[in-house]
């Protein structure tokens, strides 16, 4: 390198360094309400990212660090996220692309930042050549909603910046990235309430997927801009004067419709650009306290309609009933003196911030609203969708997407409670929205006091009373009657549980048949039968056997013809479970009852650790595979699973009334922390007659304490006396039995 080139290179690097620093200063200016500690954390993240990415460049040739700074700025400026999210945005590519590890991140920034970075690192690009892998990757991303919603928000910011800088990519890459953005990222931004980001993502996707149409509409918008601005000034003037006269503090803005939504309107209505009447909307944003928001918005509506005639069928009241993603606004369409329809949106400053910044603003204002928000309900639905790990990934993506861009209807319970459902919902959707058990047992409903079938499609304003029957079970046909992803998932889950229960019976039938024919019950033999009968899995094989669809009388013929089924060795028969066979042969499950404290047919029994029953508790016995019989409380966390799935292993049990043996019971105490609270609780234990403490542990978090105490007591009466005394201590809010090991295996 010549001396001249060397000097130029140094100047170039110095210039880049200054530009990077300026970009970072711009990020800091965009970060609102930050403390000194926040500034230090963001600065440290910037320093770590700059060093980690120092040798990396983007496709455009610019230093890579510009990308994380830009993503962080979107998080700060356009989403209103705080210091933690900004820190994570700066670091979002370090673990995946550089020498930095997750442990480094935790050591430098703590566990919360690590969790978010881990979530971002786990999400690969959503789309690749294989459709099922694309779907699985998207499913992974949505899983992170349950961990920390900021993972998905930062991923959206990352996608937005990639779309803004897509020009440096190859044409085929541009088309691929634009397609996936339109397919999933834009609807996701919409559902998270990020309207401006959603519109920009759609417009940028259209710029690459339909460049000619995009350019044509863009040109038409630019050429009509001056005329439009003049019209808006004239239209707004009388409203502005009236609002000033009334003493309102307000702002009037004109919002031009996005190019992609104009194109959508042209397509759906079959009209040219000139005939799209709502190319723009006038937005009135009023500064008003929370308790006056609703009356003030309606008062402004009244002022607007004093000047301009409203269209009665174009009024949308999303203040009384906000949309599922938290959007609140009053929309009306009025006729201007020039004979043009104009959409007017009226909202408070708080509503506008939620509309623009979506989720982040929603949480900022959440504390002032004790009601569970519509958005929180949507997050709950997503968790419900993710509950079933067996569900097909492509089905998941399709159902999730169907729930993103859907209109809503408003219906009422018999007591007048409002429920928001996707447009197209039926009786079953409503039933499952109330509770899974109500959905599973639903046989019909009364809508507005009229009896209707399960397939009835709900209308806005319907009032429903669900009719249930304890004998009802979900049917395969129900999947045709439901619209919401939540209901579909619940029905599939119930059907799968039903099939699994029937399959267990089928498995027992096959075991008995194998024993009759002296055939070993091995995985090789099961696999052979699956193949022989053309079954996709063992569960399906067992299910068909239970339903009598597979003829097992020919097992010996199959063995004789194919010589493949492995027989038991003569004289050395090895049962699948020697212990279980011995126990089962001694027990008559219908007649026998274990009396706890007395010998039971020389069969070992013990107290289950998951629920620690004590005398006085209603109990049952469960025959385990290798540890004899375990005694569980009837309300043990595992009881429902054991009784419903493996009822054939359950046996009656009761306590020997005269027996006095100390047993461990665990108590969970929650409340408000105060000085000397632990001393008061331990004092109660020490003064309570015949109670010994085994262990005690307390944790406090922001003034809320949680204590776990293990004590030795004789029976439930003994335990309840102690718990009653704990409840009387000032500051204690809740005292319950604590199940020490819910996940005990059997």
Distance separating alpha carbons of residues 207 and 493, to the nearest angstrom: 42
Distance CA 733, CA 735 (A): 7
- Nearest one of 675, 359, 317, 294 to 461, comparing CA atoms: 317
**736 DSSP β-pair partners:** 668
**Whether the Cβ atoms of residue 46 and residue 71 lie closer than 8 Å to each other:** no
Q: Phi then psi for 394, rounded to 5 degrees?
A: -65, -40
Angular region, 33: left φ>0, alpha ψ -120 to 50, beta rest: left
176, 127 Cβ separation under 8 angstroms: yes
Q: Specify whether the CB–CB gap between 255 and 281 falls below 8 A.
A: yes
Would you tell me how many other CB atoms lie within 10 Å of the CB of residue 36? 7
Catalytic one among 14, 51, 96, 372? Answer: 96
- Active-site residue 97, yes or no? yes
Work out the burial of residue 42: count CB atoms within 10 Å of its CB; fewer than 13 is exposed, 13-18 middle, 19 or more buried.
buried
| Active site (annotated) includes residue 417 | no
CA 543 from centroid of its chain's CA atoms: 32
Q: How far is CA 286 from the centre of its chain?
A: 34
DSSP-derived 3-state class of residue 442: strand
User: How many Å apart are CA 685 and CA 23, to the nearest integer?
Assistant: 62
Radius of gyration (C-alpha) of the chain in whole angstroms: 33
Beta-strand (E) ranges in 292-335? 309-310, 316-317, 330-335
Distance set, CA 615 to CA 132, 282, 629, 656, 689 (Å) = 54, 72, 17, 8, 17
Pairwise CA distance, residues 140 & 612, whole Å = 38
Q: Within its chain, how far is the Cα of 534 from the centroid?
A: 37
Return the HEC string of 38-51.
HHHHHHHHHHHHHH
- CB 113 within 8 Å of CB 375: no
Catalytic residue chosen out of the listed positions 97, 128, 147, 699: 97
Is the Cβ–Cβ distance between 249 and 286 less than 8 Å?
yes
Distance between CA atoms of 523 and 417, rounded to whole angstroms? 53
Closest CA to 236 of 256, 255, 258, 254: 254
Residue 559 to residues 506, 525, 536, 541, 562: CA-CA distances in angstroms?
20, 10, 21, 18, 5
Place of tokens 């409670």: 417
Distance of CA 67 to the CA centre of its chain: 29
Structure tokens, 290: 């929370």
Residues 6+ apart with CB under 8 A from 208: 166, 174, 175, 177, 178
Residue count of the chain, please give it: 746
Strands 341-348 and 280-287, by their bridges, are parallel
Residue whose tokens read 């493996």: 646
- Other C-beta atoms closer than 10 Å to the C-beta of 251 total 11
d(CA 466, CA 458) in angstroms, rounded, equals: 13
3-state secondary structure of 60: coil
Active site residue ranges: 96-97
């Amino acid at each position: 390198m010549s001396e001249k080139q060397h000097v130029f290179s140094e100047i170039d690097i110095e210039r880049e360094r200054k530009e990077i620093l300026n970009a970072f200063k711009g990020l800091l200016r965009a970060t609102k309400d930050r403390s000194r500690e926040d500034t230090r954390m963001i600065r440290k993240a910037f320093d770590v990212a700059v060093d980690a990415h120092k040798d990396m460049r983007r496709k455009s040739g610019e230093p890579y660090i510009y990308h994380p700074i830009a993503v962080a700025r979107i998080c700060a400026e356009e989403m209103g996220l705080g210091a933690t999210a900004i820190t994570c945005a700066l670091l979002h590519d370090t673990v995946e692309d550089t020498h930095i590890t997750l442990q480094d991140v935790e050591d430098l920034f703590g566990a919360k930042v690590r969790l978010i970075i881990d979530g971002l690192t786990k999400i690969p690009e959503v789309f690749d050549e294989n459709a099922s892998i694309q779907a699985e990757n998207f499913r992974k991303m949505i899983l992170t909603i349950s961990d920390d919603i900021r993972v998905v928000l930062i991923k959206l910011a990352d996608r937005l910046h990639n779309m803004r800088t897509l020009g440096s990519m190859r044409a085929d890459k541009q088309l691929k990235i634009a397609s996936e953005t339109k397919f999933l990222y834009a609807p996701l931004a919409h559902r998270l309430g990020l309207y401006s980001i959603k519109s920009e993502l759609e417009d940028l996707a259209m710029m690459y997927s339909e460049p000619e149409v995009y350019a044509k509409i863009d040109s038409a918008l630019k050429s009509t801009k001056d005329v439009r601005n003049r019209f808006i000034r004239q239209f707004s003037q009388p409203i502005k004067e009236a609002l000033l006269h009334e003493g309102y503090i307000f702002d009037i803005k004109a919002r031009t419709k996005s190019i992609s939504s104009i194109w959508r309107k042209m397509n759906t209505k079959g009209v040219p650009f000139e005939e799209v009447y709502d190319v723009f909307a006038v937005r009135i944003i009023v500064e008003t306290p929370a308790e006056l928001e609703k009356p003030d918005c309606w008062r402004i509506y009244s002022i607007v309609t004093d000047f301009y005639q409203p269209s009665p069928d174009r009024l949308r009241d999303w203040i009384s009933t906000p949309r599922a993603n938290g959007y609140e606004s009053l929309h009306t369409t009025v006729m201007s003196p020039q004979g043009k329809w104009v959409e007017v949106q009226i909202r408070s400053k708080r509503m506008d911030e939620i509309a623009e910044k979506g989720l982040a603003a929603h949480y900022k204002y959440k504390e002032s609203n004790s009601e569970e928000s519509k958005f929180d309900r949507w997050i709950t639905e997503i968790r419900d969708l993710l509950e079933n790990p067996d569900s097909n990934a492509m089905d998941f993506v399709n159902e999730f997407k169907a729930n993103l861009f859907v209109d809503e209807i408003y219906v009422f319970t018999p007591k007048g409670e409002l429920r928001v459902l996707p447009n197209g919902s039926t009786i079953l959707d409503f039933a499952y929205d109330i509770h899974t058990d109500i959905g599973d047992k639903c046989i019909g409903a009364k809508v507005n006091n009229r009896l209707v079938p399960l397939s009835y499609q709900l209308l806005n304003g319907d009032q429903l009373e669900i009719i249930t029957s304890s004998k009802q079970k979900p049917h395969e046909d129900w999947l045709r009657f439901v619209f919401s992803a939540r209901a579909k998932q619940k029905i599939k889950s119930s059907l799968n549980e039903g099939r699994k229960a029937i399959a267990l019976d089928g498995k027992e039938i096959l075991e008995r048949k194998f024993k009759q024919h002296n055939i070993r019950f091995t995985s090789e033999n099961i696999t052979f039968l699956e193949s022989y009968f053309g079954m996709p899995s063992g569960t399906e094989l067992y299910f068909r056997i239970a339903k009598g669809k597979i003829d097992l009388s020919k097992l010996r013929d199959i063995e004789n013809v194919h010589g493949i089924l492995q027989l038991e060795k003569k004289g050395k028969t090895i049962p699948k479970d020697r212990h279980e066979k011995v126990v089962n042969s001694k027990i008559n499950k219908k007649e026998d009852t274990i009396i706890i404290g007395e010998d039971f047919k020389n069969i070992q029994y013990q107290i289950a650790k998951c629920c620690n029953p004590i005398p006085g508790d209603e109990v049952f016995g469960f025959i385990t595979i290798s540890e004899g019989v375990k005694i569980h409380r009837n309300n043990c966390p595992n009881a429902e699973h054991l009784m419903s799935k493996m009822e054939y292993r359950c046996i009656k049990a009761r306590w020997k009334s005269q027996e006095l043996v100390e047993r461990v019971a665990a108590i969970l105490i929650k409340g408000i922390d105060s000085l000397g609270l632990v001393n008061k609780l331990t004092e109660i234990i020490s003064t309570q007659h015949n109670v010994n403490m085994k262990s005690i542990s307390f944790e406090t978090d922001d003034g809320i304490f949680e204590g776990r105490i293990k004590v030795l007591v004789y029976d439930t009466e003994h335990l309840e006396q102690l718990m009653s005394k704990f409840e009387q201590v000032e500051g204690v809010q809740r005292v319950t039995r604590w199940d020490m090991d819910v996940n005990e295996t059997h």
